[in-house]
Amino acid sequence: MAAAACAPLDPSKDPKYRDIKWSIYRGKAYDITDFIDRHPGGTWLINLAVGRDCTALFESYHLRCETAAAVFNKLPVLEGFPVDAVPRAPYPNDSDVYTAIRHRVRKEVFEGGEHVGAHRRGSELAAAAVLSCAVAAYALYMRSAGWFTGMLLGIAGAWIGVTIQHCGNHGAMSNNPLINNLLGLCNDLIGGSSLMWRYHHQVSHHIHTNDDVLDEDVLSMYPILRFDSRLPRYWFHAYQHLYIWVAYPLMHLAFQWGDINSLFSSRTVGAELLGATTAEKSTVVVGKLLHYFLLLVIPWLVYGPAVALTGAVTYSISLSIVLALMFFVSHNVPENKPLAPGMSGADDATRAVLLNQLDSRDWGVQQILASANWGGVVGNFFTGGLNLQIEHHLFPAISFVHYPAIARIVADECAQRGIRYTQYSSLPAILSRFLLCMRQLGVAPYEPAALLINKIK
C-alpha cells in the first residue's frame, strides 16, 4: 500500500503533460515540441523519442553524439517530471566497448568527415540497382502475370525490404531526411508498414535485442515459435525447426493483420506509437491500398482472378521466405541466446548480459553478443548490410557500405577485450546454426529469467 502511494504518477496519464511532446535523456525530461520540426535527422525519427526515455535511441543514432546532445542544453527542462515512472533504456555511452569503437570509427573510417555527413553517403548505387530491379520485375509481372513472375517480384520486393526500406527508415540512406522517408515508404509498397517498422524494429528490437520481454522479434511469433528458453515451452516446439518452413511463408499475410491491428490499438507488440502523427498513420492505409492495387487489382483487371491470385500468392510466399531468412538468422544462433548451460553454443557471457537489469546492462556488449554476422562485401551489397548485423546494430544510422571497414575495428576491439564476436563464412553456414538453435530452443527447459540469474551467481 505504502509503495503504491509513493509510486510516481505515470506522466502519460497526467493532464499537465498531455499537450507537451516530452522525452527523457539521461534522467532529465525535456520539452522537445518546438525542436521536432527543426531536427536535422527529420521528424519521423525524432517522433520515436516522444513519450519515452530516448537515451538509447539517441546515443546509438548520432555519430557526433556530443553535437546532438548539445541541443539539450537549449531545450526546456521539465522540472518535477516523474522521470522514475518511465521505463529506462540502457545507456549506450556508458558502454566502454561501444564508445571505444565509435571513437575509432570516426577517426579511422570517416577521418572527421562526419560533420559533412560522410557516414550517410555511399548507398546511391545500391539504391538505384534495387529500385531498377523492382521496376523491371513489376514490368515483367504486368507483361505476363503468373506464378513465376510473381515469385520474381517477391524476390525483388524482399531486396527492397532488406536494403532501401530498412536503411531509409533508419535514416541511413542519405543526408536528406526526405529521401530517407521516401525510400522508407517502399516498405508500404511491398506490403509492410514503414510506420510500424520504425516502432517495432527501432524502438523495440534495436534497443532491447534478444530481451525476452522487450524485443518484439523474440515475442511476436510466440507461441508458434519459441525464440527464447525464458518463454514457456509446449510439446510442439520440439518440432519448430521443421514447421518453421510452413510458418515463414505466411509472414507477408501476418504483416497485414499486425499492421491494421497496430493502427487501431496504436501500438505494435513491443512499442506504443506515442509520437506518430496523423500523417504518419495515414501512410498505413494509403500504403495498403496502393500495395493491393498494384499486386492484385491491376493484374485482376488485365488477366482475370485466377492469374492475379496465383501471382499474388507466389509473391507473398517468396517475399516472406527471403525476408524471414535474412532477418531471423542474425540473432538466433546458439551464441546469441541464454540457452541452458551445456547446450551447444550456450555462452555464460551472453546469459549474464541478457539477464542483467536494464539500467546495469552494457548496451554495446549486448548488441555484439546478441547478433551474428555472415559473409563479407558481396553479402553486404545484397542484404543492405544485414549480413554484418553486429555493425548494423552498433551503428544503425550509418550507411551499410561502410560496415565492412567498421567490422575490422569491431572484431579487433572484441578480440582485445575478450568479447565473443560471432562471424560465419556464408549464409548456408549461419543457416545451419540457426536451425540447430531453433531445435535447441524447442527442447530447452523453461527457465524464467529469475531462475537463470540464480544459476549464474
Q: Determine, following the binding rule CB under 6 A, whether residue 49 of this chain makes contact with ligand HEM.
A: yes
Among 24, 32, 89, 437, binds ligand HEM (CB under 6 A): 32
- Binding-residue pattern over the window 198 to 237 for ligand HEM, x denoting contact by CB under 6 A: ----x-----------------------------------
By C-beta, is 49 or 97 nearer to ligand HEM?
Answer: 49
Q: What's the min distance (Å) between Cβ of 95 and ligand HEM?
A: 18
Q: Which is nearer to ligand HEM, 71 or 429 (CB)?
A: 71
**CA separation for the pair 114, 61 (Å, rounded):** 13
The DSSP symbol for 314 reads H
Would you say 57 or 317 has its CB closer to ligand HEM?
57
The minimum distance between CB 118 and ligand HEM, in angstroms, equals 10
Taking CB under 6 A as the criterion, the residue among 67, 176, 416, 432 binding ligand HEM is 67
Nearer to ligand HEM, 204 or 320 (CB): 204
Residue with smaller CB distance to ligand HEM, 40 or 404: 40
Inter-axis angle of helices 449-456 and 348-355, nearest 10: 130
Smaller CB distance to ligand HEM: residue 116 or 242? 116
- In single-letter form, the type of residue at position 254 comes to A
Cell triple for 419: 568479447
Q: Is 183 in the site for ligand HEM (CB under 6 A)?
A: no
71 binds ligand HEM (CB under 6 A): yes
Rg, the chain, Cα only: 22
Residue 69 CB, nearest distance to ligand HEM (Å)? 7
Instruction: Establish if 363 lies at the interface with ligand HEM (CB under 6 A).
Output: no
Number of Cβ within 10 Å of residue 138's Cβ equals 19
64 binds ligand HEM (CB under 6 A): yes
Figure out which of the listed residues 48, 97, 185, 231 binds ligand HEM, where binding follows CB under 6 A: 48
d(CA 274, CA 284): 16
Of the candidate spans 41-49, 82-90, 311-319, 424-432, the one that interacts with ligand HEM by CB under 6 A turns out to be: 41-49
The residue among 204, 182, 322, 190 whose CA lies nearest residue 256 is 190
Q: Minimal distance in Å, beta carbon 217 to ligand HEM?
A: 18
State which amino acid sits at residue 127: A
Q: Does 81 bind ligand HEM (CB under 6 A)?
A: no
Do the bridges between strand 22-25 and strand 373-374 make them parallel or antiparallel, or are there none, so unpaired? unpaired
Residues 392-421 that bind ligand HEM (CB under 6 A): 397
Choose between 228 and 280: whose C-beta lies nearer to ligand HEM: 280
Closest contact distance (angstroms) between CB of 440 and ligand HEM is: 34
> b vs e for 377-409, b when ≥16 Cβ sit within 10 Å of the residue's Cβ?
eebbbbbbbbbbbbbbbbbbbbbbbbbbebbeb
> In terms of CB distance, is 120 or 208 closer to ligand HEM?
120
- Alpha-carbon gap, residue 129 to 110, rounded angstroms: 25
Closest CA to 373 of 425, 408, 423, 421: 423
Sign of the torsion angle spanned by Cα atoms 391, 396, 397, 401: positive
180: nearest Cα among 192, 188, 172, 190: 172
CB of 94 to ligand HEM, least distance (A): 18
The Cα 208–Cα 90 span in angstroms is 8
Tell which one of 12, 26, 28, 41 touches ligand HEM (CB under 6 A): 41
CA 252 to chain centre: 17
Cβ distance to ligand HEM smaller for residue 26 or 39:
39
β 423-424/373-374 pair status: parallel
At closest approach, how far in Å is the CB of 70 from ligand HEM?
7
176 near ligand HEM, rule: CB under 6 A:
no
Residue 357 buriedness (CB in 10 A; 0-12 / 13-18 / 19+):
exposed
Number of residues engaging ligand HEM in binding (CB under 6 A):
25
Collapsing DSSP to helix, strand or coil, 118 comes out as helix
- Answer for which of 45, 308, 372, 414 binds ligand HEM (CB under 6 A) is 45
- The C-alpha atoms of residue 274 and residue 195 are separated, in whole angstroms, by 12
- The residue of the chain with the least Cβ separation from ligand HEM equals 41
- Who's near 23: CB < 8 A, 6+ residues apart? 29, 30, 32, 49, 50, 51, 52, 53, 54
What totals of helices (H) and strands (E) does the chain contain, helices first? 23, 4
Identify residues 112-151 at the interface with ligand HEM (CB under 6 A).
120
Q: Which of 12, 28, 31, 40 binds ligand HEM (CB under 6 A)?
A: 40
Which residues sit at the interface with ligand HEM, rule CB under 6 A?
A: 23, 32, 35, 39-41, 45-46, 48-49, 54, 57-58, 61-64, 67-68, 71-72, 120, 171, 202, 397
